[in-house]
Structure 1
């Protein structure tokens, strides 16, 4: 929602009957909200061009490579194509969200394994990963996790060669949990299947977790898996007035590819 509001705020601030600079202004509005951008192209379709002053755009197409929403995280590919957009210009200028009709868009994202691992080497991202894990478990489990630092987390996308498995592929995660007081290390190795159970749900399946080479009982890791699966349910976005549906999910040894339909309803 905020992304498109920022975009249209930039569009509404220009006066160009010929419509020659709309694309570049929209591109700059997006660049200003990102830490860095390697490649970005924006195309705004609007005929007649005066409608942009009324808060109306026929279609926006965005194609980006190497986008950094935060300094450490690189998204390899972002492609967005919207349907017609209509916003109340007066409410927008007051800093309010002012959709006059639901905003609909198709989105494609590609996140490469190498970029994800590069991000995980950032202390800030590793700390966020630890905090995310703490929030998924019970109070007693959270207190236990808070005693540890996450050291050298790594992710590997691997194929799925398990007979009868419905998973799209598997994700191997390695991390060292270092006890803050004793500085003792616990080597964690997890293999998790990723499954698309519906247009609303990605799910972790068939988890295998080892600690210092020893299998961790399923009943100990299941609360964490359940917490992750709950976060992967797109129904959670309905609270924010967003409807999202997964169109395609592909996990290869190089990258995770996602295609989705998103609708943002009027506030």
Structure 2
């Protein structure tokens, strides 16, 4: 019998509830995110998976009438404590959205924006290095290195999404949240982003919302199935897809609903 202990999660959620006014959108969710894993959040539209994802870096703070209860920690510290600097939290827990959203700036300035705001570069040379390294990690450097002053919005959709990933990792995050990052992309661009996620897995804890069962199976090590605001089941991706414990999970994965 193995005596090894499971390693400490990077982020934990315990007894998390989310209300929008009188609507109970998330009901008592417990989930861990680990630094060397991709966790896929799956479930039908409106099941709460994106709402839960946005709790992790307090993106719901700006939503009128939204109330989050329970406890969410990053390295053991409650991210909803009053003393927490939300700007710093969002640097540590970055977000990549469903639709690529580059700033109306040059490719260079898109990536340099965060490091400038957070004072991560002491000189232009440092900033150049951060931009180049981030674009390289995002698999984009070779495609854009000769046109860094061109607008980020001039790139293709897939390149724009990788630019947004480069922008997220330029501030040295520890967690990356992705809300259906491939839903607006063609299959070739999707394959590039999936390959990138695989490469980033060892450096960050990654949580990805996806409607694609195939994508979840390809890129994640853990899968969490949400239904009607409840986390029905979560565990190793292979186990969830081959021998789910709950009939609702089985019905969703086999296409009987959702």
More helix by share: 2
Instruction: Give the TM bin, normalised by the shorter chain.
Output: under 0.3
When normalised by structure 2's length, the TM-score is 0.25
When normalised by structure 1's length, the TM-score is 0.24
Q: Which has the larger radius of gyration?
A: 1
More strand by share: 1
Q: Which has the higher contact order (CA 8 A, sep 6+)?
A: 2
